[in-house]
A and B are shown apart, each in its own frame.
Chain A
Amino acid sequence: MSVVSLLLALLWASDILAAGRLVQYEPLDVEITDMAAVKRGADFFATHCHVCHTMKYAVDDPITKAAGIVDRDPLVLDGHEIPDLSLKALEYSPEHIYTYLQAYYVDEDSPTGYNNLVMVNTKMPNVLQALQGEHRLLVEEVEKNTPLPRLYEVIYKTKPGQVTSEEFYDNLDDLMHYLIYAADPSEVDRLSIAPWVLSYLAILFILLFVIYLRMKKSYE
């Protein structure tokens, strides 16, 4: 019965993910039909993420292949498999990943030297640090406030990176284009087919409705 109780208790359990986040998600606007951005994102992934992460379900995708992302077994770090990222944009919200990658700050107590405001005590090292530069907290400690603060309200840049902040955000924006595309490539097809199918049905509905009205009149 204890297992039963535990499982039913899960129905009562709160959302740990939401509870763990200390900042608001940064707004993200992704136009998935922007294939140039998707391709740039795939290249960015191949250079910066593919060292550790895999794209298991997307490896046969032409854009993924062209970027040099290959099928291989996931790496294991401290007994944990490094997550496959092919579906992560659907498992987490894209805003979550986008903000997460911006939310590292210097934390001497952390084993990697950095901590994160979106996923506190994350195991992933701050791999984009060289590109982005370094941030420190503006305050002693970020408390879980309601409403949650924006990122710029709690961290500030202490060391510049190889690219400007704007270029860095553009890179992340491209990366998110790719991750969203890779998680569900059908979206590109869906958006291109939809207007045709829906217009066809709309015209058909109007014609059929006129037939119905005429038929209805004949019964009055």
Chain B
Amino acid sequence: MSLSKWVNQRVPVSDFFDHHLRQYYVPKNLNIWYLFGVFAMVVLVNQLLSGFFLVMYYTPTGDDAFSSVEFIMREVPYGWLIRYLHTTGASAFFIVIFMHMYRSIMYGSYRKPREILWLSGCILFLSLMAEAYTGYVLPWGQMSFWATKVIISIIQLIPIGGEAIAQWVMGDVSVSEVTLHRFFAFHVILFPAIILAMVFLHIIFLHCVGSNNPDGVTPKQIIDGVPKGYVPFHPYITTKDIAYVTLFLLLFLAVVFYAPRMGGYFIEAENYAPANPLVTPAHIRPVWYLSPFFAILRAIPSQSLGAVAMVLSLVLLFLLPWLDSSPVRSIRYKGPYCQVALGIFVVSFVGLGVVGNLPPSHWVTILGRAFTLGYFSFFLLMPLYSRFDRFKRPPGVSGL
């Protein structure tokens, strides 16, 4: 008896691969926006592997954390490569995930029947933010320390239980090396476990409902059990993905080799000074991928309302499937209101990211408020503008 037969009689491995690769069909018209999912998987693997090697040398104590990172950078063979892969990977993760989410927003991939798929993605996004933030604390530089102080103070603004949660997260009465050790536990055990579990579910959910596509329509016609215009995941998508993943790695490693600090955006200059509770840095700014949400916090004159707005800006993502009342999914067939709204959303989100990183001035405040308004309008007015907008009938669809 062959080994494969022996295994398949016990665990149906071949059936599994048929079901999820060879006979799993996806639309042929998936464009380059559909590559960011697999890029995210590549970055996830990169983070897990590089993180695994970093943990071998990193020491999560107040006295040694900073110098253990420098030890990795200088003394560990190729330690610099492992660390830069990890730090560049963190930023790459957000670039890729922002594109992946924007694709879903653009083509209506959150609409029925993919609501649960979208929700699992939103949970993944929040977990990723928590993972990135707890990781940012670990080098125990000045910005690690003071950014933690700021985030803890935001948690303290929660009206009920805020103080208790903050104290549990800190493990102390103020941010200390106990906090550092705790964040290490969050970063290497809790959040990676949540992310891995959610990624697994995200793919399961995807395979239950199948991929959306740039036209946002599901073909009714089935030929030989395959929907019209669909291709098998393997070899069609696997070949395509492997080619583009190589291109992605090329760009990713170019950053790792030539600009791993990205002018202070991927690794901030202030973090090259060890954490010092007695010296406040001149300008505390959030890391770039959290910047849009900090800009919302800063745009609202009241601090507690600012914190509420920041939380709301994330909650609204979860509600997206129920805010969109358009009869079509994809922006290609939506009318001018939806198209303008999407444009405003993009400008607002990028704008928030930019102003969140600028030192405050009159114009920064005004722009921050305008972009905050733009961001919230996209979501909160969607039930209206998507309902009353014109729309075009996608090709090959008789009724909607």
Name A's B-contacting residues (CB within 8 A): 3-5, 7-8, 10-18, 57-58, 60-61, 86-88, 90-93, 183-186, 189-191, 193-194, 197-198, 201-202, 204-205, 208-209, 211-212, 215-216, 219
Contacts and interface: CB of A to CB of B under 8 A. Distances in A.
Contact of A91 (B149, B254, B272): B272
B273 A91 contact: yes
Nearest to A211: B239
| Interface of chain A, main secondary structure | helix
Given A184-B80, A215-B236, A219-B231, 18 more contacts: A4-B303, A5-B303, A7-B153, A11-B294, A11-B297, A14-B361, A17-B283, A18-B359, A57-B70, A87-B273, A90-B261, A92-B269, A190-B80, A193-B257, A201-B247, A204-B246, A209-B243, A212-B240
A14 B283 CA distance: 6
B203 to A, nearest CB: 22
Contact of A197 (B150, B239, B243, B257): B257
B80 A186 contact: yes
B397 to A, nearest CB: 23
B153 A15 contact: no
B74 A57 contact: yes
| Interface of chain B, main secondary structure | helix
A184 B75 CA distance: 12
A211 B238 CA distance: 11
27 contacts: A4-B157, A7-B146, A8-B150, A8-B153, A8-B154, A13-B284, A57-B67, A60-B74, A86-B70, A87-B272, A87-B273, A92-B269, A190-B80, A190-B257, A190-B258, A193-B257, A197-B253, A197-B257, A198-B253, A201-B247, A204-B246, A208-B242, A208-B246, A209-B247, A215-B236, A216-B240, A219-B236
A201 B244 CA distance: 11
A10 B240 contact: no
Contacts of B294: 11
A187 B153 CA distance: 37
A90 B74 CA distance: 15
Interface of B: 28, 67, 70, 73-75, 80-81, 84, 146, 149-150, 153-154, 156-157, 231, 235-236, 239-240, 242-243, 246-247, 249-250, 253-254, 256-258, 260-261, 269-270, 272-273, 280, 282-286, 294, 297-298, 303, 359-361
Contacts of A216: 236, 240
B360 A14 contact: yes
A60 B75 contact: yes
A186 B150 CA distance: 32
Contact of A4 (B153, B280, B359): B153
A70 B297 CA distance: 47
A12 B364 CA distance: 10
Contacts of B153: 3-4, 7-8
Nearest to B307: A8
A198 to B, nearest CB: 6
Contact of A208 (B231, B243, B298): B243
- For A58, A183, A184, the residue with the greatest tally of chain B CB atoms inside 10 Å of its CB is A184
Contacts of A57: 67, 70, 74
A205 B250 CA distance: 9
Contacts of A4: 153, 156-157, 303
Given A194-B257, A215-B235, A205 B283 contact: no
B150 A11 contact: yes
Contacts of B269: 90-93
Nearest to A17: B282
A201 B250 contact: yes
A184 to B, nearest CB: 7
Nearest to B285: A11
A201 B255 CA distance: 14
A116 B360 CA distance: 27
A98 to B, nearest CB: 15
A211 to B, nearest CB: 6
A16 B283 contact: yes
Given A3-B153, A10-B284, A186-B80, A205 B146 contact: no
A132 B246 CA distance: 52
B389 to A, nearest CB: 35
A51 to B, nearest CB: 22
Nearest to A12: B360
Contacts of A202: 250
Contacts of A61: 74
Nearest to B283: A15
Contacts of B156: 4
A122 B364 CA distance: 31
A195 to B, nearest CB: 9
Contact of A186 (B73, B246, B282): B73
A188 to B, nearest CB: 10
A215 B272 contact: no
Given A7-B153, A13-B284, A212-B243, A90 B272 contact: yes
Nearest to A13: B283
Nearest to A20: B282
Contacts of A90: 261, 269, 272
A36 B239 CA distance: 48
B170 to A, nearest CB: 13
Contacts of A17: 282-283
A149 B22 CA distance: 67
Nearest to B259: A190
A191 B150 contact: no
A7 B149 contact: yes
B298 A12 contact: yes
Contact of A219 (B28, B70, B250, B282): B28
